[in-house]
Amino acid sequence: MTTNNYNQNTIIVPASLKLVGIIGGIWALLTIGGATLAYILEHPDFSIFTTYLSDIGATPDWPQIIFNSGTLIVVPIRYLVLVLLVIRLMQLGAGKSFAIATLFIGFLSTAGTALMTATPYTVSMALHKTGIGLYFLGVVVLQTIIFFKEWLLKEVPKILPILSLLMVLLYLVFLTMFVLYDQGTVSRTAPVIWEWLAILSSIAWMLAQSILLGKADHG
């Protein structure tokens, strides 16, 4: 009976991770794509080198509605993906201390996403920047922890920790550039492309983790 229950759990968790991860990834892409399209209709000068995602989220009417509401919806989905990922990695050998640290830091980072989305910089620059700090710094710490753990787990494909490391680098570069911009050292547009690359890498990471670790026979 115990063995049967365990086998059922090892099948349910991967399948759930795969389903929720794909839904979250597709929803995130639709949100960014839809909001960007709505923004372009009124701002034909749009460019991923000059337009922040925050600019789209602060633009009145449809760009703001699509981006902010879509992002707030994906926030709990993304955290659920993290929970399922942690459980899956525990099945593959990760310990409880890893799980606790990952879920705690992940919660802070997720809260940062909600904060910076719910309060565009046109509403409160201070709260928006606080959300940015929590989210981007949280991701750097979170993905560093996941990178080391996944790299040590033999059952995990090496492409997954490599994607975590890529996220760390992109988010760290953006955060550094944003701080330099805030200090007046670089231009406003300098961090923009790094924000786009960071966000797109996070979507790719979620899809890859969910699909590859979502295979029931993976361990």
Burial class (CB in 10 A: 0-12, 13-18, 19+), 96: exposed
- Return the DSSP state at 186: S
Per-residue pLDDT reduced to its tens digit, 138-154: 999 999 999 999 999 99
Say yes or no to pLDDT of 9 above 60: no
pLDDT recorded at residue 118: 86
- Residues 93 and 146: their CA atoms lie apart, in Å, by 13
pLDDT recorded at residue 125: 87
pLDDT recorded at residue 123: 87
- Residues 201 and 140: their CA atoms lie apart, in Å, by 13
Say yes or no to pLDDT of 4 above 60: no
**Of the candidates 109, 95, 203, the residue with the CA atom closest to the CA atom of residue 149:** 95
Mean pLDDT of 201-218: 89
pLDDT interval class at 11 (50, 70, 90): low
pLDDT recorded at residue 1: 43
Say yes or no to pLDDT of 117 above 90: no
pLDDT recorded at residue 2: 44
Is residue 205 within 8 A of residue 164, CB to CB? The reply is: yes
Task: Pick the more confident residue, 215 or 211.
Answer: 211
Per-residue pLDDT reduced to its tens digit, 46-79: 999 999 999 999 999 999 999 999 999 999 999 9
